[in-house]
Structure 1
Amino acid sequence: MINFSSSTISKDTEIWGNFGDYVNGTFMPIIALLGVLVTYYLGIISEKRNEANIKIEQLKHRPILHIGYFDAEDFMEIFIENKGNGPLIIKKYTIINETNNTEMNRIYDCLPELINDDYDNYTGNIIGIVMKASEKFQLFLFKSEDDDEISKENRRLIRENISKYKVSIEYQDVYENIMPKSERSLIWFGRNA
């Protein structure tokens, strides 16, 4: 504009052709570079969106471990249940004495010897067990329908012993995402012991 503002607009097509070559040579590399930058930026946005979608899908199939128990007069149970939508893998299972913080790898180690009776079910170490969605796994079961003094004493001993412990389980989903540790104190069993 500074150099040619005093000139008139040319009617010569050759001059216009040279001007077109000048504009094309100047602006096309800039436009091409902008196109590359826009494409790169769209690729980054697409990659982030894909990662977010994968994370959302993983969350939809997330396991949620619940440690539960049931304590009735003649029936005691401790169990774990996968209340989530995806499978879980148990990575660490410990029974922790809440008074001295000692750890055990199976619930049997914290159970007392019974007088003339046996346990209905108890587990050993369950590391590596895979639980599908809505699956329930029994850690401990004791049923005693007898109402004699020996049965009452056995139930009292069990409640007194296991009320000192808590169950601690670390687990992951099938995508190897570490889930929050699940812990539950068994102090409830000691309320009547």
Structure 2
Amino acid sequence: MKRIITLVFLTINVLAYGQIDSTKNSGIEFKNELNWDTIIALSVSIVSIVFTYIQVRIQRTHNKKTVKPIGRIRIGDYQNNIFVKVENNGVGPLIIKQILIKRDTLQTTKSLIDILPNDLTKRITWTNFTGSYEGRTIIPGQSLELIVWTINSSYEGKSNDIIENDRNDLRKALKEISVSVTYTDIYEKEEFMHDLSREEFSSWYGRHEQ
């Protein structure tokens, strides 16, 4: 934009203060005559160019905001339902670049289940879970369920003690994790991040122990 304005001003100087005279055999000469009509015309052109440029920038910014995703990690802990989800509370598609899950010295970007204790994942039948997060898209108002535990059909005929043990053990495991989500929008020129710390997970899933 600066180069365009500089070029236009140079053109003004040439056209306003110098008229080309090519009638002489010696070559092209400039006559120093002030040309106000040219100055006014080019000034109007410059103003138009500047306002057009500003309008284009405003429109581009507006277009990006109208498709901007807002990622949020949502955790739930109820008697019959425990979950960890990534929600899109924005107005445009959310494209996941990475979901990083940590537990003590372990970490994974593949699936939350992979980082939970083996004895827990072997005996629990999940209502829903997701793996291989990279590249997944979440549309506005929807979520990606990392894990969902409910009292589903797998508990039919089992005692309340078994259900209680699974629920409490899952809470203890989720107390120890942290989750961070890196995502982008449809333009894929900028990355955003949202995370929940281990302290936040611990305070939520450990509140029953207090």
TM-score range, shorter chain: 0.7 to 0.9
Q: How far apart are residue 42 of structure 1 and its match? A: 2.7
Distance change >3 Å, CA 137–CA 54, structure 1 → 2: same
In the other structure, the counterpart of 2:48 is: 42
Work out the CA distance in 1 between the residues paired with 2:64 and 2:159.
50
Does the CA-based 8 Å contact 1:110-1:162 persist in structure 2? no
Q: Is the Cα contact below 8 Å between 2:75 and 2:83 reproduced in 1?
A: yes
Deviation at 1:171, TM superposition (A): 0.6
CA–CA separation in structure 2 for the residues paired with 1:147 and 1:57: 55
Alpha carbons 1:168, 1:182 under 8 Å: kept? yes
Whether 1:172 aligns to 2:188 is no
Report Cα offsets for 1:149-188 as digits up to 9, x if no partner.
2222221211111111122111111022424311124221
- Residue 142 of structure 1, aligned match among 146, 149, 170: 149
Shift of 1:61: 2.1
Residue number in structure 1 paired with 2:131: 124
> What is the RMSD computed on CA atoms of the aligned residues?
2.4
After superposing on structure 2, the runs of 4+ consecutive aligned residues of structure 1 that deviate more than 6 Å are none
Other-structure match for 2:70? 64
**Structure with bigger gyration radius:** 1
Q: So what's the TM-score if we normalise by structure 2?
A: 0.69
Are residues 192 and 179 of structure 1, via their aligned partners in 2, closer, same or farther at CA, if it must alter by over 3 Å?
Answer: same
Q: Deviations over 1:43-66 (max 9, x none)?
A: 133112211111112212211112
Partner residue of 1:191?
A: 207
Change in 2 beyond 3 A, CA 1:116/1:180? closer
**Which ranges of structure 1 fall in alignment gaps of 5 or more residues?**
1-24
Indicate whether 1:152 and 2:158 are aligned: no
Equivalent of residue 107 in structure 2, options 93, 103, 110: 103
Partner of 2:175: 163
**Structure-1-length-normalised TM-score:** 0.75
How many percent identity over aligned positions?
22
Instruction: Specify which structure has the bigger relative contact order, considering alpha-carbon pairs within 8 angstroms and separated by 6 or more residues.
Output: 1
| Residue aligning to 1:4 | none
Is the Cα–Cα contact under 8 Å of residues 82 and 149 in structure 2 kept in the other structure? yes
Q: Is the 8 A contact 1:62 1:85 kept in 2?
A: yes
Q: How much has 1:133 moved relative to structure 2?
A: 1.3
How many pairs were matched up?
A: 167
Q: 1:54 aligns with which of 38, 57, 60?
A: 60
Give 2:140's aligned residue: 133
Counterpart CA distance in 1 for 2:134 and 2:92 is 18
SS at match of 2:96: strand
Deviation at 1:71, TM superposition (A): 0.6
Contact kept? 2:100, 2:108, Cα under 8 Å:
yes
User: 1-side partners of 2:89 and 2:149: how far apart?
Assistant: 24
Query: 1:33 deviation in Å?
Result: 4.2
